[in-house]
Amino acid sequence: MIVREDIMEVEAEIDRLPIDLLAHIFVMFTSFTDLAQASGVCKKWKQGVMESLARRHNLSFAGWKMDDDSTARLVYHAYNLTKLDIPMSRWGCQITDAGLLRISFAKCVSNLTSISLWGLTGITDEGVVQLTIVLWSCHHVTERGLLALVDKCLKLKSMNVWGTRVPEHCFNNLLILSPALQIKL
């Protein structure tokens, strides 16, 4: 009976934590697995996890096996996101144009100043025109996609296009559309 009372007392202490404090704690989590497990504890913790995502300015999926659904779901809740990093991983990141399309509907897209999609082979012009971006080694992106991207993303400050197959003369056209754009080759 004493053990049961101790457990109930611990649960009562945990329940007293305000959601703001839980969110502050969850912002420090770097593991999406840990966040998912925390969100399954109770409704209050789930709300804390969602609020922690809303507070993040940077989100990196480096080292994680992500697909279109899981990536879009997390980005959707990250309202204040300014930098998004979705690199190729050794486990095979499965982000495609469909995932980028879903991400493009997230509230944070208008705030994004940087998106890195390093080495993702499932990304083409269709996905690129939705976002601001680092396109390092994305071989299927063409001049048409870059022009549409710069034309639609008025806040785009820089673009890393090293390893793409876009001819260098295309970059002059990009600078005509956006003279302040920094293009990293």
Dump pLDDT digits (tens) for 128-180.
Answer: 776 677 787 888 888 988 998 888 777 777 788 888 888 889 999 999 999 98
Q: Are residues 82 and 168 in the same domain?
A: yes
Alpha-carbon gap, residue 79 to 14, rounded angstroms:
27
CATH number for the domain that contains residue 177: 3.80.10.10
Per-residue pLDDT band at 68 (split at 50, 70, 90): very high
The domain in which residue 108 lies consists of: 56-184
Per the CB < 8 A criterion, the answer to whether 146 and 161 are in contact is yes
Please give the tally of structural domains in the chain: 2
Q: Are residues 127 and 170 in the same domain?
A: yes
Q: Are residues 79 and 144 in the same domain?
A: yes
Q: Are residues 16 and 46 in the same domain?
A: yes
Burial pattern 135-172, b for ≥16 Cβ within 10 A else e, equals bbbbebbbbebbbbbbeebeebeebbbeebebeeebbe
Would the pTM count as exceeding 0.75?
no
